[in-house]
Amino acid sequence: MATTAAAAFFAMSVPPKAQAFYGDDHALIVRAALPLVQSSPDDGVDATALNQIIGSLLDGTGTRGADLFQFDAFRHIDSAASPAEICVLVAEAWDFYIPQVIRGAAPAGPPDFRLLSNGPQARSAFGGLAHALADFYSHSNWIELAIAANLRPGLAPIFPTCDDGFLAGVHTGYFNPMSGVDGCPSTALGGEPDPPERFEECHLTLNKDTAHSLRGDAPVPGMSPMTHYDLARALATRHTTELYWLVRSIVARSFSSEDLDGECVARNLFQADRFEPCAVHNDRIRGAVGERCSTTLVGVDVNTGEYIVCVYSREYRPDGVWVTGNIVGVHNIGEPCDPKIDKASQTPDYIPILCVVDQGWQPGP
Ligand SMILES: [Zn+2]
């Protein structure tokens, strides 16, 4: 929720220690929202992953690092004058961060696939997305609209999609770091905040980023002593938990296949020190092309991750030698096949099979 320009403003108007707390809010939200590995051994987040999700303002990573990019409205859902404009920013944030999560989470290191292509980047991107989500609650009038309608504020229908029809009347405050430390033009030097025509409010007067901001400090009518800041933070925390389960399921689905356990990939993503083998059938026999073997089953090449078959070898007699099997798909013995297209395959029990004319799939070679 912090913005450096606004932080500078508050540094002038509140005791210095508020500024440090201010910068920690996003980290506190993520810490409170995500289940930890100590209580959820499979579904929780470990300390290394949590640190990468939180990130740092110094290198622009994670939920903290988003504040390094004050000019990117989508990272903070800033300066959206209408529901449609909010949805544009929500879509921008989703389309910016989710591909980074998926790219970074891509399993690596065949044949076990214990590794991710770029775990730190994927976790940092998740933190950035969580930042944008949290900022929606502190930068918009979502809470105020619900209270004005005598409703208990709930979670907004944003991420993964955004329907501006459900956000009627919602806007965020105008914020532009070019307009001085508070990000808002004023009527005169030191005068009243005066946003550009399209905007109803400035970020300065609308934000609930801290307990010391103008709106954040105000008690919520009917919910005293809760302040707008307290409520924005509570909703952001609840929604961040939901975002976590959503992103986990997207990662799991993205990488689930005949050969990979997508849930395992999600566990390795959110537990940076886990390194669980995500290859399905990791009870496979391991070998390497050209090396000695003695099995009748299809194995996996430890260097390439490819399926290999143990065949007769004069050199290693009575053992065999691993060769590339050109194994495609999984079939049962006796199942029909087309010798023009089908060559070698394997049964669900890893028995190598060949497509034989008029006989279908048969054990071999
Ligand atoms: Zn922000």
Query: Do 259 and 311 belong to one domain?
Result: no
**pLDDT at residue 23, as a whole number:** 57
Query: Do 110 and 245 belong to one domain?
Result: yes
Query: Do 18 and 143 belong to one domain?
Result: yes
pTM: 0.77
271 Cα to the center of ligand 1, angstroms: 26
Number of domains in the chain: 2
Block means of pLDDT (10 residues each) for the chain, length 365 residues? 46 36 82 96 97 96 94 95 97 98 95 93 98 96 94 95 94 88 78 86 89 88 91 97 98 93 97 93 84 92 87 92 89 92 89 94 88
**pLDDT at residue 177, as a whole number:** 83
49 Cα to the center of ligand 1, angstroms: 21
**Domain of residue 357, residue span:** 285-363
Convert the chain into a string of H (helix), E (strand) and C (coil).
CCCHHHHHHHHHHCCCHHHHHHHHHHHHHHHHHCCECCCCCCCCECHHHHHHHHCECCCCEHHHHHHHCCCCHHHCCCCCCCHHHHHHHHHHHHHHHHHHHHHHHCEECCCCCCEECCHHHHHHHHHHHHHHHHHHHHHECHHHHHHHCCCCCCCCCECCCECHHHHCCCCECECCHHHCCCCCCECCCCCCECCCCCCCCEHHHHCCCCCCCCCCCCECCCCCCCEHHHHHHHHHHHHHHHHHHHHHHHHHHHHCCCCECHHHHHHHHHCCCCCCCCECCCCCEEECCCCEECCCCCEEECCCCCEEEEEECCCCCCCEEEEECCEEEECCCCCCCCCCCCCEEECCCCCEEEEECCCEEEECC
Query: Do 291 and 194 belong to one domain?
Result: no
**pLDDT at residue 348, as a whole number:** 82
Is residue 137 a part of any domain in this protein? yes
Query: Do 291 and 258 belong to one domain?
Result: no
Domain boundary among 212, 240, 270: 270
**pLDDT at residue 8, as a whole number:** 45
105 Cα to the center of ligand 1, angstroms: 25
**pLDDT at residue 16, as a whole number:** 33
Query: Do 120 and 32 belong to one domain?
Result: yes
Is residue 275 a part of any domain in this protein? no
Query: Do 340 and 216 belong to one domain?
Result: no
Query: Do 8 and 106 belong to one domain?
Result: yes
Is residue 276 a part of any domain in this protein? no
134 Cα to the center of ligand 1, angstroms: 8
**pLDDT at residue 22, as a whole number:** 58
Query: Do 19 and 141 belong to one domain?
Result: yes
Query: Do 250 and 299 belong to one domain?
Result: no
Is residue 214 a part of any domain in this protein? yes
Query: Do 47 and 16 belong to one domain?
Result: yes
Query: Do 293 and 222 belong to one domain?
Result: no
